[in-house]
Amino acid sequence: MKRSTVFTIAAVALLMAFVVATLLHNVKKEEPAAAPAESKGAAPAPQAPPAVAPVAALVRMHSPTLGSSEAPVTIVEFLDPACEACRAFYPVVKNVLMKNPERVRLVLRYAPFHRGADKVVALLDAARRQGKFWPALETLLATQDAWAPNHTAQVELAWKQLEKLGLDPVRLRADMESPASAQVVAQDLEDARTLNVDKTPSFFVNGRPLVTFGQEPFERLVNDALKESSRR
C-alpha cells in the first residue's frame, strides 16, 4: 500500500473518532448517580454554565492532578471512566499537556453518569490512595470495551484490567468500600451540579467553561488562557 494511502486512511480514522466523540458528548448523561428531588409545577429552564466557575467547586483536596502545581493554566475535567467521548478525547488533553510542560496542569473530577460507573470511580479512587491513579485511569480507558459493554460499567470486569498494576487487592477492596470513597464521589457529583455539568467530558480552563465541545474550541480556550497568563 502506498504511503499516501496509509496517511489518508489514518486521517479519516482520526476524524471519525472525533466526530463520534462529539456526538456522544452531546448526549445527556444516561443515568445520574443521585437523582434530584422532584418539584411541583413547571420544570425550571436549564441553566448555562457560569462565565467563571467558583474556585471552591473546581478543585478539591482529593482531586488527582497531572502537571506542575505552579502552572499558570489549570484544566479541570469532569470525567466518567465509562464514557466513550472521554476515552476518545483523552489523547487531546494529554497532547496539550505535553506541548506545554510546566505551564498547564490537569485536574480530574469524577462525574459517574453511566450505570455502574460510581463503583468504577470508587475503584479509581482506591487506586489513587496507592499512588496508581493515572496508570489505572489510562488502563481502564484503553480497555473500556471489555468492562463497560452497552454503556453499563461492571466493576468486577474493570478490576481484572488493573491486575498487572501491582495494586494491593485487599487494601484496594477496603478503600473502595470505605465511607471516605463514597464521600469523594458525592462531593464531585455535588460540585458537578453546582457547575451545571450534565455531560462528560466537561472542561473548565482557569475557571472558564468550554461551551462548544471539540478539539479546536478546547485548544483555543487553553491558548487564550496561556496568552492571558503571559501578560501578567
pLDDT tens-place values along the chain, 232 residues long: 544 443 444 444 444 555 445 545 554 454 444 333 333 444 444 445 556 777 789 999 999 999 999 999 999 999 999 999 999 999 999 999 999 999 999 999 999 999 999 999 999 999 999 999 999 999 999 999 999 998 899 999 999 999 999 999 999 999 999 999 999 999 999 999 999 999 999 999 999 999 999 999 999 999 999 999 988 7
Measured CA to CA, the distance from residue 194 to residue 201 in angstroms comes to 16
Q: Kindly report the length of the chain.
A: 232
The model's pLDDT over 1-34, given as tens digits with 9 standing for 90+, comes to 544 443 444 444 444 555 445 545 554 454 444 3
Please say whether the beta carbons of 81 and 121 come within 8 A: yes
Cα distance between the two ends of the chain: 52
Measured CA to CA, the distance from residue 219 to residue 155 in angstroms comes to 33
Three cell numbers, residue 26 = 452531546
Measured CA to CA, the distance from residue 123 to residue 171 in angstroms comes to 11
Query: How high is the pLDDT of residue 50?
Result: 53
Query: How high is the pLDDT of residue 118?
Result: 96
- Residue 112 CA: distances (Å) to CA of 41, 92, 120, 217, 228: 29, 21, 8, 24, 33
Query: How high is the pLDDT of residue 55?
Result: 75
| List of domains in the chain | 3-31+54-230 (3.40.30.10)
